[in-house]
Amino acid sequence: MKLKIFILLILMMSLSFVLLAKEQKTDSEPLSAKQVLDKLDDLWRGKSSTAEMTMEVKTRHWHRTMVMNMWSKGTDYSMVRVVKPLKERGTATLKVKEEIYNYLPKTDRTIKLTAAMMMGSWMGSHFTNDDLVKESRMADDYTYKMTINKDKTINLVLIPKEEAAVVWGKIEILVREDYQPIKFVYYDEDGEISRTMTFDKYEKVGNKLVPLVMKMTPADKQGEYTLVSYKNLKFDIKIKNGFFSLNQLRR
């Protein structure tokens, strides 16, 4: 009997060693470029998620801050609903599979986004509707090259593939040693910087480390930016597909 327990213990310990070792191995083995890109694509995508978002937009003519609630499930469903300012409370954007809708509570109207509206700004920010909808993965649309800097941060240079439907000429990504993004720089076809997205406030949510703050700065508009920060971010919440419906928009 004692022998059995002893062998079990040793097995368990070796198992844990193996497991530990494996984990360590995973930690220490560097990711390939593709894996880094995939990780970045999946940064905020859990199976599902919800959060409270604060978006501050500064343009040459105005400066606003909005507070919104956000829910998402996979890549097919997401909903964003405005809580503050009071004037726009209830305004929402809903994505169901391929279709996107904007709901305007003041007029109780739902507008389905057409191709023509895709490049329009989302809620007045420097993000476009297209940015929100983007389904394609960076690894699919771009060819990439990864280099490691002296300070252990990693550079990824992405060049769009021949047929990829993206407007950028180049994207440069800077990530931390732990693969957390620091900044994305978007270049146009002539090599001029078009916009820059920076990340900050890295926190652990669930068992993932994510930046909770993103800032998008257009290159050609002095002093303008959009700053998004997440609060109360939760991953893998229980949420039904039916939640993402036009009816739900109007509650």
Instruction: By CB under 8 A, name the binding residues for another protein.
Output: 57, 59-62, 64, 85, 87-88, 91, 98-100, 104, 106-107, 109, 111, 113-121, 123-124, 130, 133, 160, 163-169, 186-190, 194, 220
Shortest Å distance, C-beta 157 to another protein:
16
CB of 51 within 8 A of CB of 230?
yes
Residues ≥6 apart with Cβ < 8 Å to 209: 178, 180, 202, 203
Residue closer to another protein, measured from CB, 169 or 202 = 169
Residue closer to another protein, measured from CB, 38 or 131 = 131
Shortest Å distance, C-beta 184 to another protein:
13
Question: What DSSP character marks residue 243?
Answer: G
Shortest Å distance, C-beta 126 to another protein:
11
Residue closer to another protein, measured from CB, 48 or 217 = 217
Residue closer to another protein, measured from CB, 72 or 91 = 91
DSSP of 67-111? EEEEEEETTTEEEEEEEESGGGTT-EEEEETTEEEEEETTTTEEE
Q: Which residues pair with 63 in a beta bridge?
A: 58
Question: What DSSP character marks residue 168?
Answer: -
Residue closer to another protein, measured from CB, 186 or 199 = 186
Q: Report d(CA 43, CA 184) in Å as an integer.
A: 14
Shortest Å distance, C-beta 210 to another protein:
27
Shortest Å distance, C-beta 95 to another protein:
11
CB of 172 within 8 A of CB of 187?
yes
Pairing of strands 77-84, 92-96: antiparallel
